[in-house]
Amino acid sequence: MSGIALVRKPGPRIAEGLVTHIEREPVDPERALVQHEAYVAALAAAGWTPVHVEPADDLPDAPFVEDAVVVCGRLAVLTRPGAPERRPEVAAVEEAVRGLGLRAVRVTRPGTLDGGDVLQVGRAVYVGRSSRTNDEGIAQLAALLPERQVRPVDLDGVLHLKSAVTALPDGTLIGDPAHLDLAALDLARLDRPAGLLEPEEESGAHVVLLGGDRVLMAASAPRTADLLVQRGLDVTTVDISEFEKLEGCVTCLSVLIP
C-alpha cells in the first residue's frame, strides 16, 4: 500500500502544547523538529509521499495533524476540536485536503470531534467519547458515514481513543483495557479476534499501518515491538519522545491517505 502522508512541521512554540492527563515536562523544539523529520522520512521510506500542511508557528499543537481531519475513502471530515484553541488548526488542513482532490465536509457546533478519537477498522468506526469529542460530534460523524458502523467508546484516563487502542494489519486490536469500555469495542463481532492484545508498554498501543505486514511504532515500546515481530509483522520504530511529552503518539502526527 502507498499514498499520501499528510503531515505538519512543529513550530517554535510546541513546548506550549496542551497536556491533560500527564505532568508537563520541558519540550525541546529543535529536537522535536529533528524527530519529526525522521518520522516523515520513515513514512516516505515505506512508500508514502509526504504532503506538508502549511506551518502554523503560532499554534503549538498543529503538528498533531490527525486531530484536524478524518479521511474515509475520498471524503475528508474536517473536525471541530474539543479544545477551542486548536480550532484554528483546521483551516490549513482543509486547504491541503481539497488540494488533494478530496471532498471536504465539516463537523459543526455544538459538535466537537478530535481525529485522534476515531479508529477505523474495516467497516467499524470506533469513536472515543472524551473531553475532546462529544455525543453530537459522534452523531454528526455517523451521519456523514452512513455506510460505516460508528460505535462510541467511553474512555478513562486518556486523551483520545487512539491513545489507548489501535489495530494491527489483521484487525486485531491492541491496547490497554484499563482505559477502555471493552463492551463498546464488541470484540466478538465485526470479525475482531476474541479479546484484546495488551502491549508490553503503554506506548505500544499506538500502531500506524504502513501497508501489508508493515507497522510504525514509537521507539519507547521496544518490548511491544519485539512481540509484534514474533507475530510476523515488519516493525519500524521512530523516536518521538518530545511529542510523547505532550500526550502525542505515532498515529497523531500524520494522516495516511491511500
Instruction: Please indicate whether residue 249 is annotated as part of the active site.
Output: no
Residues 217 and 202: beta-carbon distance below 8 Å: no
Could you say which of 36, 160, 179, 206 is catalytic? 160
Greatest Cα-to-Cα distance within the chain, rounded to the nearest angstrom: 46
- Residue 231 neighbours by CB under 8 Å, 6+ apart: 168
d(C-alpha 177, C-alpha 198), whole Å: 8
Burial bucket for residue 92 (CB in 10 Å: 0-12, 13-18, 19+): middle
Q: Which residue has the cell 519485539?
A: 226
Instruction: Give how far Cα 120 sits from Cα of 103, 150, 209, 223, 239, Å.
Output: 18, 9, 11, 25, 25
Could you say which of 179, 206, 249, 252 is catalytic? 252
d(C-alpha 181, C-alpha 161), whole Å: 10
What are the E-state strand segments in the chain?
3-7, 48-52, 69-72, 75-78, 103-106, 118-121, 124-129, 149-154, 165-167, 173-175, 208-211, 214-218, 234-238, 255-257
* φ, ψ (nearest 5 deg) of residue 123: -85, -10
Instruction: Please indicate whether residue 21 is annotated as part of the active site.
Output: no
Active site residues: 160, 252
